[in-house]
Structure 1
Amino acid sequence: MKTIVKKTDPQNIDMDVIEEGGEILRKGGLVAFPLETVYGLGADAMRAEASLKIYAAKGRSSDNPLVVHIADIETLDDIVSEIPESAKKLMQRFWPGPLTLIFNKKENVPYETTGGLDTVAVRMPSHPVALALIKSSGLVIAATSANTSYRPSPTKAKYVIDDMYGKMDMIIDGGTVGIISLKSTIVNVTQSTPMLLRVGYITKSMLEEIVGNVSLWINEMAEDSVRNG
């Protein structure tokens, strides 16, 4: 596979580049793009075969859930069965940003995207290129870090090229990312008390300022439940 590499300035986005990426995603292809934390590898979250391409490109087990990236909160109604009050408060405070929330999914969300689970991981990124790509595509984008399994998460398009060139259709080079050096915080909001699965940029105390008590999953496997998004 030949990988197209196109550059855009996050502060002056080239919409031709974004629209090209959106068209590739609509056709079921793979696009690497900048997030505020790392470069992500994305596909149409609602197409099972597209999500499977991400696993194949990374050499990653398909039982490891992907994170669904959205550009507006209204889109949640299409993919989750319920939005608890705790989730609404957290979204209002921390979205867009590095907070991943775990919801009960609707039946239309493929198990290939959720790693076989009845829950779906969702976040709204704050990086302008990521938001523009999601909006242009008209999709919700399933993504994970754009590196082969067990390699470092990339903060530059060059690292994606060195590691994964030829395994995706397009790389959108938006410069160096990772100003937020920690991964996204992951919170399960399917229970009455939100449960912190992974501590990232947003800490437990920051969460509790918004929703009160937050339980903590003391389990080393928790970090592997959802790889960065």
Structure 2
Amino acid sequence: MFHKEGYKIILIATIILGIGIILIENFVSINWLNKLLALILLGFYILILQFFRNPKRNTILNDNTIIAPVDGKVVVIEEVFEKEYFKEKRQQISIFMSPLNVHVTRYPVGGKVKFSKYHPGKFLVAWHPKASEENERTTVVIETKSIGEILYRQIAGALAKRIVNYAKPELNVVQGDDGGFIKFGSRIDVFLPLNAKVKVNLNDKVKGGEQVIAEI
């Protein structure tokens, strides 16, 4: 199963693969070179397919938990001053996605979208300390019934050139549902209340849509 954001790219890649194989078969007479070029083309095609995969996740809905919005590696757990929306201290959990991870963004909590804003910016590597403030990014705040407001931020990386965000103000969203997509390497920051109990550790690999990263 592939994400809808990848349909156009997959179609183009399929056409290029087909044309490339035909050209190689007709114009490359050296047998080993013929096979090598075909394998390289096929390898790139498989990479594109795996990048846009959209596996089904079984989310256990719970108003008192925050789940990982994406697959990836936990690279930050710290108390910070969130200055865009809350303008106060929050607990931050950051998850880094490599190009090999599933890049679907899933809602970490269910509730009503209170804030959603796109910020143009740079394309620093996603783990850079300034990436959260200077890179292209979107900020989304969801108001929940029992936890209060949770903020998550999609951050483009050095390779990511497009962030897709489906969260719109006043939209009611379900925990674990598809909230967007970031293309080719990126990061997600989640900002939690100070009384949230973090359930992950640095360098943990988390599974978006299923794994609990914090609870109240």
Higher helix fraction: Structure 1 or Structure 2? 1
Task: Please classify the TM superposition score into its range, dividing by the shorter chain length.
Answer: under 0.3
Higher strand fraction: Structure 1 or Structure 2? 2
| Higher relative contact order, structure no. (Cα contacts within 8 Å, ≥ 6 residues apart) | 1
Q: TM-score, normalised by structure 1?
A: 0.25
**Higher CA-based Rg:** 2
Q: TM-score, normalised by structure 2?
A: 0.26
